[in-house]
Structure 1
Amino acid sequence: MVQYKWIALSNTSLGAFMGFMNANVVLIALPAIFKGININPFTSFQYLLWVLFGYSIVSAILVVNVGRISDIFGRVRMYNLGFLIFTIGSLLLYITPGSGNIAALQLVIYRIVQGIGGAFLMANSAAIISEAFPPNERGFALGLNGVIGIFGGVAGIIIGGILASIYWRDVFLVSVPIGILGTIWSYRSLKQLSKPNRNQNVDILGNIMYAISLILILIGITYGILPYGTQATGWGNPFVITSIVVGIAMFVGFIFIERRVKDPMFRLELFKTRAFTSAAVAIILAQLAFGGLQLMLVLLLQAIWLPLHGYSYEVTPFWAGIYLLPLLAGFGIMGSIAGKLSDRYGARSLATTGLVIMGTGFLLLTLLPYNFNYLEFALIIFFMGVGNGLFVSPNMAALINAAPPQHRGSASGIRAMLTNTGSTLSIGIFFTIVIDTLYVTLPPVLTSALNAAGAPQLASILAKLPPTAAIFAAFLGYNPVSTVLSQLPNSIVSSIPASTISTITGTYWFPNVLAPAFVEALRTAFYIGSAMAFLAAIVSALRGKAVIYERDILRSTITSALDGKKEQQQK
């Protein structure tokens, strides 16, 4: 008979596989999706961002709440519900009716439904694995779970590319059979090993304060990336400023409330353990460094490197995913190995080494020219994937091990929240650096290049092109120049020689114009990423010795109680 721990690992790994696959399928298939619903990339920034980030934002908001509620009502029950909700969201995405803005809004709403299901899965999977495996095997189990998730990411790239070329709706349908299988399997096989504490109250005020504060902060960051008036980004938008300031103020109020509530949603006492706090801080710093990296590399490949190597804009989303496989491979190879090693040697040396590798990888990326040799690029991102694998599994095991069993749902939720929030912040920071730099440097470069190409009549038009529009158009598989020309009066287009039109709409002209400024902005972002990774390494190195609750804290508590009893008897 198969041991229950392997059933728990395989089922939660199926959930991880589905989640990673779904994320990459959507990323690769976005051009087909937006063309399928007839959305113009130059006027659809907000929809693009919400289809991309709505899932992670909702998950970040809900995971702590769900983790805490799962400690009260049962982790397995909440996990099962997550599989069901995710499957329903996937089915709704597949049957999305209509086209245009209405269809885009429906996609956003259904992605949010998926995000709710994902929050239930993420908040409980690590806790279910930790309950099923003994402390000396948790690192390996959590690492293997992550590796299977990476396999899902690889499958998502390939499946997304194939299905996007057939019919855009099919990219959402692929998750449905996996979701149905996982839902039935989880309801039939998973067991609640620890008894939920039903005597606790749900912290309603804390849940509301936390959710609203994080919603406001993350929405503010998301809209801070978008243009505002004549500005390249929206950080001067009163809505963005108000949203972030009010969100931060409410979060401070939330912390104040949690210190005084009998059964708080956010278990602040977990942070009294040094091992837990160090692991949590390392997560947020590492995600600030690494969270936006993949998206920036996707933009670099799609907007510059792939067109320069003869790939049409229409096929760049798929090939960008293929060329980034070394990043996933590095994580996949090292994830389970590092988890196994952390069971024997602890997390500090492994996680710290991984973060140093990541920081070094960022510095190496800054040395590459925009028309780089792919082998060098592949080795660097593989190197960074290995570093991420060395960090994630041991650090996650360290965080979970340091939490009491009855609060591991909360601990798992905090981990997922820090991961998703850090990733969203990272994307906001990286995007802002790139867009603000391009806003200053791109117009004069475009003007000069158009004059040299023999199309001065386009200079004043393209010079006003928001960098966000150019980047997002390339990201969605559109040629930015061709898209602009298609929207101009025929009298202007016909005044330009055909040879010039052929040159500026080819795969080489725009990337060569964009590349110097874009890569310089990326270097600044990578320097910041490197600094965050090295700072996370310092935090990780100072975490102290490994702590396993069942072995250390619980034993210390029992010993103290026995010593106190002996003293009373002696008196």
Structure 2
Amino acid sequence: MKKIDYKWTALSCTTLGALFSVLSGSTLLIALPSIMKDLHTSMSIVTWTIMGYMLVMTILVPSIGRMADMVGRKKLYVSGFAVFTLTSILCSISQTGLQLLVFRMIQAVGGALMVANSTAIVADAFPKRELGKALGINSMIICVASVAGPILGGFLISIGWRSIFYINIPIGIIGTFWAAFKLKETKVPFEKQKFDINGTVAFSAGMLALLTALTLGGFSGWFNIYVLTLFLVAIILLTLFVKIENTVEAPMLDLRLLKTRVLAFAFAANFLNGVARGAVTFLLIFYLQGVKGVDPMLAGILLSPFAIAMMIVSPFSGWLSDKYGVRILSSVGLLISAVGLAGLMIIKPDTPIIELIIWMSIMGFGSGMFFAPNTSAIMGGVPADKRGIAAGLRTMLTNAGMVLSIAICMAIISSSISPDAMQALFVGSQVGGQGIATGQFITGLRTAFTLCFVFSLLAAFISYLRGPSAVWEEEEEEKEDRVYN
């Protein structure tokens, strides 16, 4: 197969993986109230099926990215597809909320293997001048999954929430074999590389402590002794990690990536955008199924404008970034997202659905302008042997931002409404003003959206501060000649 043709094959493999993982997550999100009622489990357990998955992904992707740079991306990506498929079977037969949580966290290992390698595989296959377009197409497919997921989830709930995992099985089998037979290693891993075990252990333990503290703080209070202890442990371990990375010959995370201005600000904007939008869908599910009293399928349809707008814009923004650069495009995109969040700041119990659709569409338009160009700036700004690390770091920061977003917003909501009322609201057993403090909940919701708005503005400011493109010792033309000729 010619290299010029292989790039589209590689894109098809990674796109199928993205479709697989995003579809699984978005269908599950809309099904959480049904799972909670059917398994007779607590709200904290079902929330952790989402949070725990993101936590494991956040911890693992940087070290997996480094491992991929050492041993190659294909075998890890294919393994991730297989693990994700197998754990979908296990999730479908879960009998308790705790079982589902455990299987979901194992599933996150498969997700991390796919996500940490997919962007790097695309970056290896496409020349830099076409990378924005390729990532834009990839983002568009992710948006399709984001649109279809909640609607499909709402439909599948009428059959039974377990069918959400059943549908993963044929997709996973096809994707595993397609990647196994079609993907190639486009670069030979460097020989005699050492894996940074000490740095990996310090980083993984430190991030686990930090993200657990952020998550628990949102539910049990930020001044809880266990939360404060976890924060202290995280600070110590992550400080030790930085010291290790600055002394070892082959670090797990090359901190030079953060010393280059354009990359540092691109990564920071990625993280802040995760904080800005991570909790939005989660909060709107509360609002639509609790306050508005709509059924899961309609809730899924009503959540789709965000993803539809993003789906339309992403390919064009990627193409535009290839021609005109990233800085203005991504920064304006974040400002547009902030406008959508500003509209949600004035949400009321009787806010018309059409108004919600407008604000979500604006948010999706802005996000579509940001994602592909910013990812292209990151992946096109690092040498080939650092792409796994860069992709892993980008995913880690996005997920960390989303974990922080949900934790903080849940803390805000929890402080405005009693736990019993929140649980009743979540499962839809009490809607509107029937037995829940609707006014207090809406106040908390507005406060949460206001915080998201502030972080979106901050992300836009940081994005604009990025400097000129990174220059590495390896010339781009030489790299492209090696890959394509």
Q: Do these two structures clear the TM 0.5 threshold for a shared fold by scoring above it? A: yes
Q: Which amino acid aligns with 1:510?
A: Q
Residue equivalent to 1:514: 437
Between the aligned partners of 2:420 and 2:378, the Cα distance in structure 1 is: 41
Contact 1:32-1:165 within 8 A present in 2 as well = no
2:450 corresponds to which residue?
527
The change in CA–CA distance for 1:557 and 1:509 in structure 2 (over 3 A counts) is: closer
CA distance in structure 2 between the aligned counterparts of 1:409 and 1:178, rounded to whole angstroms: 25
1:540 corresponds to: 463
Distance in 1 (CA, whole Å) between partners of 2:410 and 2:432 is 24
Q: Which amino acid in 1 is paired with 2:101? A: V
User: Which of 408, 415, 425 is equivalent to 1:474?
Assistant: 425
Aligned to 2:47: 49
Match of 1:70 in 2: 68
Q: What is aligned with 1:496?
A: none
Amino acid at match of 2:187: S
Counterpart residue type for residue 542 of structure 1: L
Partner letter of residue 421 of structure 2?
A: A
Alpha-carbon distance between aligned partners in 1 of 2:50 and 2:434, rounded to the nearest angstrom? 25
CA distance in 1, matches of 2:363, 2:214: 26
8 Å Cα contact 1:282/1:539 also seen in 2: yes
Q: CA deviation at 1:537?
A: 1.1
Return closer, same or farther for 1:334/1:556 CA change in 2, 3 Å cut-off. Answer: closer
* Partner deviation per Cα, 1:243-302 (whole Å, 9 max, x = no partner): 122122211111111111111101101122221111001111111111111111221222
What is residue 486 of structure 1 aligned with on the other side? none
Q: How many residue pairs were aligned?
A: 476
- 1:277-356 equivalent positions in 2, closer than 5 A: 277-304=264-291, 306-307=292-293, 311=294, 315=295, 317-356=296-335
Query: 80, 83, 108: which one pairs with 1:82?
Result: 80
Q: Distance in 2 between matches of 1:33 and 1:525?
A: 25
Q: Provide closer, same or farther for how the CA distance between residues 116 and 556 of structure 1 changes in structure 2, counting only shifts above 3 A.
A: closer
1:130/1:556 CA distance change after superposition, 3 Å: closer
Q: Structure 2 CA distance, aligned partners of 1:280 and 1:253? A: 22
CA change 1:190–1:557 in 2 (3 A) is closer
Give the residue type in structure 2 aligned to 1:289. A
The one-letter code sitting in structure 1 at the alignment partner of 2:380 is: N
The CA distance in 1 between the partners of 2:334 and 2:449, in whole Å, is 14
Residue 557 of structure 1: how far off its partner (Å): 12
1:45 is displaced (CA, Å) by 3.2
Answer yes or no: is the 8 Å Cα contact 2:35–2:46 preserved in 1. Answer: no
* Paired amino acid for 2:231: I
Q: 1:143 corresponds to which letter in structure 2?
A: G
Q: 1:28 to 1:277 in 2, by over 3 A?
A: same
CA distance in 1, matches of 2:420, 2:323: 50
Mapped contact 1:49–1:222 kept (Cα < 8 A): no
Pair 1:198–1:47, CA change in 2 (3 A): farther
How much has 1:555 moved relative to structure 2?
4.2
SS in 2 for 1:437: coil
Contact 1:287 / 1:426 at 8 angstroms: preserved in 2? yes
Post-superposition shift, 1:167? 2.5
Whole-angstrom distance in 2 between the partners of 1:291 and 1:47? 19
| Conserved? CA contact 1:273–1:402, under 8 Å | no
Q: Tell me the amino acid that sits aligned with residue 470 of structure 1.
A: A
Q: CA deviation at 1:352?
A: 0.4
Give yes or no for the alignment of 1:143 onto 2:136.
yes
RMSD over equivalenced CA pairs, Å: 1.9
Q: Could you list the per-position Cα deviations for residues 473-494 of structure 1 after superposition, in whole angstroms to 9, with x for gaps in the alignment? A: 322x3314xxxxxxxxxxxxxx
Structure 1: segments with no counterpart, 5+ residues: 227-232, 439-466, 481-506, 559-571
More displaced stretch, 245-254 vs 342-351: 245-254
Q: What TM-score does the superposition give when structure 2 sets the normalisation length?
A: 0.94
In structure 1, what is the Cα distance between the partners aligned to 2:106 and 2:70?
Answer: 23
Whether the aligned pair in 2 keeps the contact of 1:18 and 1:149 (CA below 8 Å) is: no
2-structure distance, mates of 1:409, 1:218:
22
2: distance between equivalents of 1:361 and 1:220? 30
Distance 1:28 1:437 in 2: 23
The question of 1:269 aligning with 2:256 is answered yes
Mapped pair 1:434 → 2:413: yes
Look up the equivalent residue of 1:256 and give its one-letter code. Answer: K
Alpha-carbon offset, residue 319 of structure 1: 2.4
CA contact (8 A) 2:310 2:367 kept: yes
* Structure 1 residue 424, shift from structure 2 partner: 0.2
What is the Cα deviation at residue 556 of structure 1? 10
Partner amino acid, structure 1, of 2:403: T
* Aligned positions of 1:386-397 closer than 5 A: 386-397=365-376
Deviations 1:38-85 (A, max 9, x none): 33xxxx133112212111111001000100011001011111111111
**Alignment partner, residue 483 of structure 2:** none
Q: Secondary structure at the match of 2:416?
A: helix
SS in 1 for 2:191: coil
CA distance in 2, matches of 1:553, 1:383: 41
1:17 aligns with 2:4: no
**Distance of 1:555 and 1:168 partners within structure 2:** 51
**1:35 to partner: Cα distance:** 3.1
Instruction: Show the counterpart of 1:7.
Output: 9
* TM-score normalised by L of structure 1: 0.80
Distance in 2 between residues matched to 1:110 and 1:368, nearest whole Å? 36
From the superposition, tell whether residues 50 and 556 of structure 1 become closer, same or farther in structure 2 (CA, over 3 Å): closer
Which secondary structure does the structure 2 equivalent of 1:78 belong to? helix
Unaligned runs of 5+ in 2: 479-485
Runs in 1 of length 4+ with deviation above 6 angstroms? none
1:252 and 2:239 matched? yes
- Structure with higher Rg: it is 1
Greater shift, 271-280 or 60-69, is seen at: 271-280
Question: Which SS does the other structure have where 2:437 is aligned?
Answer: helix
| Cα distance change on mapping 1:330 and 1:275 into 2, 3 Å | same
Q: Distance in 2 between matches of 1:208 and 1:289?
A: 29
AA aligned opposite 2:434 = F
Report what 1:238 is aligned to.
225
Paired letter, 1:149: I
Identity of aligned residues (%): 37
Which residue does 1:408 correspond to in 2? 387
Contact residue 340 and residue 361 of structure 2 kept, 8 A:
no
1:38: which partner in 2?
40
Corresponding residue of 2:377: 398
Cα drift, residue 546 of structure 1: 4.0
